[in-house]
Amino acid sequence: MAERMIVRLGDPILRETSKRVLSITPQVEKILDDMAQTIYAAKGRAGLSAIQIGIPKRLVVMDCGSGLIELINPVLMEKSGEQVGQEACLSIPGVFGIVRRANYVKVQTLNRQGEVKTIEAEDFLARCIQHEMDHLEGILFIDHTEELYSAKTGKKLNRKDLHRIQDKNRKNGGNKRRIKQQGD
C-alpha cells in the first residue's frame, strides 16, 4: 500500500466523468488499498474517489466513523429527505461550504468479489456517499453551495477567492498536495 497524491482544484481531471470498472483486478484492489491509506493519512477526511488521485475510475473509499466502506461502480437507486450541512474536500483544502443533500440514500455497488451489494445510509454517511459519487461525475461540492468559507478564519469567500486558490495551485507546479509517502 502507498499513499497517493491528491489532485487539487484547478486540475481538469476533477471535472471528468469517471469510467466504469470492467473487472476487479489486482490493480483495482491496489488502487482501493492505496486510497484507504491516503484517506487515513489525511487530516479531516471522510472519503476519497479515485479521480481525486488522478485515476478516472468509478471507485470510492470512505470512513465516516464506522469503518472503511468501498464502492465499486456505485449507482444511486433511491434518495429522500433533506439535510443541510457543512462540507469540505481534500481536493479543495482550506475551504468549506454549506450544502443541501438528501438525508437518505440507497446505493447499489460491487464489492471486491464482484458481488452486487446494496447500501442504505442516512445523515452523515448519506452526505459522504453523495459527495463522493458527485466526484465520479466531475461535480464538486462548490457546485452545490451558494456560500464558501475559509476553514482557517471562518470568513466568507467569494468566487474570486476560489479562482485565486485555483490559480495558485496551477502556478505551484501541479495541483497535487503532497501527502507523506512511505519511506519518508
Give me the catalytic one of 3, 70, 87, 132.
Answer: 132
**Residue 148 identity (one-letter amino acid):** L
Give the whole-angstrom CA distance, residue 41 versus residue 146. 30
Helices and strands (H, E) in the chain, number of each type: 3, 11
Q: Please name the residue ranges forming H helices in the chain.
A: 26-41, 123-136, 159-171
Q: Which three cell numbers stand for residue 27?
A: 490493480
Count CB atoms within 10 A of the CB of residue 143.
11
- What φ, ψ does residue 28 adopt, rounded to 5°? -65, -45
**Residue 67 identity (one-letter amino acid):** G
Q: Edge-to-edge, what's the strand order for the sheet holding 83-88? A: 83-88, 95-101, 148-150, 156-157
CA 129 to chain centroid, in Å, comes to 9
Q: Note if 132 is an active site residue.
A: yes
Catalytic residues: 132
